[in-house]
Amino acid sequence: AQKITQTQPGMFVQEKEAVTLDCTYDTSDQSYGLFWYKQPSSGEMIFLIYQGSYDEQNATEGRYSLNFQKARKSANLVISASQLGDSAMYFCAMRGSNTGNQFYFGTGTSLTVIP
């Protein structure tokens, strides 16, 4: 079975500080992909970053980086230098090579950036 767990319903961070959003996963697939999406109050789903299970380097995209610890089955999102526009819901998601038709999403973390 595939499962994504996000244990932080809500997080606060001071503007310009870094913040880590937690994500753990469970899968029996040997090959899988991990994704983070941002959902602002307007509702759309915005792709942020991707990590493949065989990638040796942690993924980075601008101010976003993914702290991938395979043995711990964790894929935490790190946002550096937080901005007010980062306030949104953040969803961790996974797709396995044997269940490639669908993503499994966590329940999300609501991030609020404080000026």
Partner 1 sequence: NAGVMQNPRHLVRRRGQEARLRCSPMKGHSHVYWYRQLPEEGLKFMVYLQKENIIDESGMPKERFSAEFPKEGPSILRIQQVVRGDSAAYFCASSGPPRGSGYGYTFGSGTRLTVV
Smaller CB distance to partner 1: residue 14 or 102? 102
Least separation in angstroms between CB 14 and partner 1:
26
Smaller CB distance to partner 1: residue 3 or 16? 3
Smaller CB distance to partner 1: residue 10 or 14? 10
Least separation in angstroms between CB 86 and partner 1:
19
Structure token digits, residue 23: 């994500």
Smaller CB distance to partner 1: residue 21 or 95? 95
SS (H, E, C) the chain: CCEEECCCCEEEEECCCCEEECCEEECCCCCEEEEEEEECCCCCCEEEEEEECCCCCCCEECCEEEEEECCCCEEEEEECCCCHHHCEEEEEEEEEHHHCCCCEECCCEEEEEEC
Least separation in angstroms between CB 93 and partner 1:
8
Q: For binding to partner 1 (CB under 8 A), which residues are involved?
A: 4, 29, 31-33, 35, 37, 42-47, 50, 52-53, 91, 93, 95-97, 100-108
